[in-house]
A and B are shown apart, each in its own frame.
Chain A
Amino acid sequence: MRKRLAFLTLAAVIGIALSLPMSGMAVAQEECVISVVGVWSGDELTAFEEAVAPFMEENGCTMDFESTRDPAVLRTAVDSGNPPDIAILPQPGVMYEYAADGALVALDSFMDMDALAEDYAPIWLELGSYDGTLYGIFYKVANKSLIWYNPVAFEEAGYEIPTTWDELIALSDQIVADGGTPWSIGLESGDASGWPGTDWIEDIMLRTAGPEVYDQWVNHEISWTDEAVVNAFETWGQIVGNPDYLYGGVEGTLATNFGEAPWPLWEDPPGAYMHRQASFIVGFILDQYPDLEMGTDINFFPFPSINEEIGPAVIGGADVVVMFNDRPEVEAFMEYLASPEPQEIWASMGDFISPNQSVSLDVYPDDATRSIAEAVVNAEIFRFDASDLMPAAVGAGEFWSGVLDFVENPDNLMDILERIEEVAADAYAE
């Protein structure tokens, strides 16, 4: 009896010891492991691993990458005081939340700010900062202000590329008159349904109200019921409010998954002629039509300007790399990530556009990608995707619901905007 009890006690002690946090023991380890939690997976992750391989080899480190799109994974890890070394966030808005909580390592505490200023345009450093301190480096930029078309179909029908909004609407009317459907729009995206519509509103907002008002809108310095916002929705309404313009009508616009939405452009005869989406959509097109060639079969034109006083503008998105632990090897890794080297490796593999000006345009695999990248680096007006900058309750919540409700029932615009305003007033409150 006594022996058995002793054994049990021993087992209990061992059990408790094992369940203690392992961090105390990790200190003794010489091994260099950098833990990363990020949104990249599949091909993206393979490319990223390739891009960081030179660093890992040189420093004898390994990367422990956890792929997840669930924000709760990172939130829980950070709240419990056990964050990864590096995190790749899909939205700078999330970065600002962590920065406000004091969870992030300030990059200017160890990085060469002059070198950074040389590599990155001021807009990228500004966007990566919270309260004047740099916390994030942007990666994998998406140029969202693109309208995709099928050059073969355009040539057969004799359509010209529109350079202004009025020409765009005139072209849409002409396509309808010719018996076709101008637009294929898909807003369905499971639990994130609605986001493709927010990109439309942002492109229109930037081109009708200008960058200053756009920034005020992002920061909630103007109300959602402001004339500028109403005007942006109504301008979009010229397209989504006209079922003749829409492939599958209003129902099709709401029910079609964003990834399938461009497909009708390459049907014979074309189900639709134009599709507005960010640069990443090429991957979805090639999934369905692997034989199409970028440039000859697939092409794009920039989202046309609306107000002539406002110069060529680009709305973009990007993932942002942030740092939670300031060990020396993590600092070195962060410096490496910000440098042109890994970005050139990834860019040469395709499906990647770097915001780093020192990344040579020659590394991009084809002309179309190069011209998208050129537009990003040289844009006269570049603004970040507004919904990604707004607090999630608005930018990943009521704004998404709002565009769906607007497409469903454009006459309800004021009710919809008032509802978003109500959520925004609460979400922006300090």
Chain B
Amino acid sequence: MQGQRWWVPWLYLAPALLILFAFLVYPTIHTVILSFMDENGEVLVTEHCKSDVCEWGIFHNYWYAFHNPSMQEAFVNNIRWLVFFTSITVFLGLVLAVLFDRVRYEPIVKSAIFLPMAISFVGAGVIWGAQAGVYKWTNPAKPQVGLLNAILVALVPGFEPKNWLRLQPWNNFALIVVGIWMWTGFAMVILSAAIKNIPKEILEAARVDGANEFQIFFRIIIPSISSTLTVVATTMVINVLKIFDIVYVMTGGRGGTDVIANRMYTEMFINFEDGRGSAIAVILLLLIVPVMIANIRSFREQEATR
């Protein structure tokens, strides 16, 4: 390479850097600044904090985020999502990937499971929602139109149709099921690719040595795909922390189903509380960053072992 000026690489990088700055770095910095400001983003929150005592001083919006009852409810619900959504999608994804690896119609069944991924969250909200979807309640005197109530009425004698999206705390799980339905396919496809990458020789050698299928699963498959499992799990955790669409469309966070990202939207765009909305956004960002780092680390590890 002869005579390349020092700035040439930067020139090539410039468009990407510009876009990155305009759409990522600048909004992030602006959000952090807004989170210390009042509802209009004009003066510091300490000068206009809407309560007699400005708790936590300049961090008053953060104080609000941790003390507001709706936010506390949202934190609890996000933990529910975190535990159940993440574990079930990864578990189901893994089981399906292993089982479908052995059937002849694998591509077809995998496509069917993956299909919900192609549906928008809003579409999923309609498919499952109380207005016309799976969770719809119809007067018990009439045929049930909602799939879930219809199945239960048909199978369980004397079953009274339930209004699933108001039934606390089960309405949260009703929403989590929608998330699982959408994301299991994603987990399955990635894990399935990792399983197919395990060298056939190792599996054959184990079988020759007399290992049964359970031993193969726990001693060979799981350790071989452990870094992929971490990537899938952390991706799901990131998904959960920013879960918004399903809740927004189906319940609007009412009836004890609110989540952090929906609170952020509500404060920002419904209540016009720019400072509080931004503070919640920053909290969400801080929660996601460590998971993101873990995700990238294990992704690199996975690439290295390939």
Question: B19's closest neighbor in chain A, by CB?
Answer: A19
Contact of B166 among A5, A408, A429 (CB under 8 A): A408
Q: Which residues of B have CB within 8 Å of A426?
A: 50-51
Measured between alpha carbons, how far is A101 from B272 in the docked complex, in Å? 11
Interface residues as binary, A240-274 with B (CB distance below 8 Å gives 1, 0 otherwise): 00000001100110111100000010000001000
The reply to whether B269 and A191 contact each other, CB–CB distance below 8 Å, is: no
How many CB-defined contacts (below 8 Å) exist between A and B?
A: 87
Given contacts A75-B269, A191-B252, contact A8 B11 (CB under 8 A): yes
Where the two chains meet, the residues of A that have a C-beta atom closer than 8 Å to any C-beta of B are 5, 8-9, 12, 15, 71-72, 75, 97, 101, 188, 190-194, 247-248, 251-252, 254-257, 264, 271, 391-393, 396-397, 400-401, 404, 408, 419, 426-427, 429-430
The reply to whether A101 and B254 contact each other, CB–CB distance below 8 Å, is: no
The reply to whether B139 and A271 contact each other, CB–CB distance below 8 Å, is: yes
Q: Which residues of B have CB within 8 Å of A264?
A: 139
Among the listed stretches B107-115, B172-180, B225-233, B243-251, which one makes contact with chain A, having 4 or more residues with CB under 8 Å of it?
B243-251
Most buried by A among B15, B40, B131: B131
Measured between alpha carbons, how far is A180 from B272 in the docked complex, in Å? 46
Q: Which residues of B have CB within 8 Å of A397?
A: 266, 270-271
Interface residues as binary, B245-276 with A (CB distance below 8 Å gives 1, 0 otherwise): 00011111111000000000110111111000
The reply to whether A254 and B166 contact each other, CB–CB distance below 8 Å, is: yes
Contact of A190 among B50, B252, B270 (CB under 8 A): B252
Q: Which residues of A have CB within 8 Å of B250?
A: 190-191
Q: Which residues of A have CB within 8 Å of B266?
A: 397
* B62 in the interface (beta carbon within 8 A): no
Contact of A247 among B11, B14, B139, B251 (CB under 8 A): B139
28 A-B pairs (CB sep. < 8 Å) = A5-B8, A5-B11, A97-B272, A101-B40, A188-B131, A190-B125, A190-B129, A190-B249, A190-B252, A191-B248, A191-B250, A191-B252, A193-B251, A193-B252, A247-B139, A252-B137, A256-B137, A264-B139, A271-B141, A391-B271, A392-B271, A392-B272, A397-B266, A400-B254, A401-B254, A408-B166, A427-B271, A429-B51
Which 6 pairs, one residue from A and one from B, show the smallest C-beta to C-beta distance?
A191-B252, A255-B137, A255-B163, A429-B50, A72-B269, A393-B271
* B279 in the interface (beta carbon within 8 A): no
Given contacts A191-B252, A193-B251, A404-B255, contact A71 B270 (CB under 8 A): yes
| Chain A: minimal CB distance from B129 (Å) | 7
Given contacts A190-B252, A193-B251, A257-B130, contact A251 B272 (CB under 8 A): no
Q: Which residues of B have CB within 8 Å of A254?
A: 163, 166
Q: Which residues of B have CB within 8 Å of A427?
A: 271
Question: B136's closest neighbor in chain A, by CB?
Answer: A255
Question: B139's closest neighbor in chain A, by CB?
Answer: A248
| Chain A: minimal CB distance from B41 (Å) | 9
Most buried by A among B69, B248, B272: B272
Measured between alpha carbons, how far is A213 from B50 in the docked complex, in Å? 25
The reply to whether A404 and B166 contact each other, CB–CB distance below 8 Å, is: yes
Q: Which residues of A have CB within 8 Å of B255?
A: 193, 401, 404
Measured between alpha carbons, how far is A254 from B167 in the docked complex, in Å? 11
Number of chain B residues close to chain A: CB under 8 A: 37
| Chain A: minimal CB distance from B53 (Å) | 13
The reply to whether B139 and A252 contact each other, CB–CB distance below 8 Å, is: yes
Question: B12's closest neighbor in chain A, by CB?
Answer: A8
Question: B168's closest neighbor in chain A, by CB?
Answer: A408
The reply to whether A251 and B129 contact each other, CB–CB distance below 8 Å, is: no
Question: A193's closest neighbor in chain B, by CB?
Answer: B254
Measured between alpha carbons, how far is A264 from B69 in the docked complex, in Å? 39
Contact of A191 among B69, B163, B251 (CB under 8 A): B251
Q: Which residues of B have CB within 8 Å of A8?
A: 11
Q: Which residues of B have CB within 8 Å of A408?
A: 166
Measured between alpha carbons, how far is A419 from B70 in the docked complex, in Å? 11
Measured between alpha carbons, how far is A271 from B142 in the docked complex, in Å? 11
Measured between alpha carbons, how far is A429 from B52 in the docked complex, in Å? 11
Question: A401's closest neighbor in chain B, by CB?
Answer: B254
Measured between alpha carbons, how far is A429 from B8 in the docked complex, in Å? 56
The reply to whether A188 and B139 contact each other, CB–CB distance below 8 Å, is: no
Q: Which residues of B have CB within 8 Å of A72?
A: 265, 268-269
Most buried by B among A101, A194, A256: A256
Q: Which residues of B have CB within 8 Å of A419?
A: 69
Measured between alpha carbons, how far is A401 from B139 in the docked complex, in Å? 23
| Chain A: minimal CB distance from B42 (Å) | 10
Interface residues as binary, B15-51 with A (CB distance below 8 Å gives 1, 0 otherwise): 1000000000000000000000000100000000011
Measured between alpha carbons, how far is A175 from B269 in the docked complex, in Å? 45
Given contacts A251-B137, A257-B131, A271-B139, contact A192 B270 (CB under 8 A): no
Q: Which residues of A have CB within 8 Å of B251?
A: 190-191, 193
Q: Which residues of A have CB within 8 Å of B8?
A: 5
Q: Which residues of A have CB within 8 Å of B141?
A: 271
Most buried by A among B11, B161, B270, B273: B270
The reply to whether A255 and B130 contact each other, CB–CB distance below 8 Å, is: yes
B132-147 residues at the A interface, CB under 8 angstroms: 136-137, 139-141
4 extra A-B contacts, CB within 8 A, seeds A5-B11, A192-B252, A404-B254: A190-B129, A190-B130, A194-B254, A404-B166
Given contacts A8-B11, A75-B269, contact A255 B166 (CB under 8 A): yes
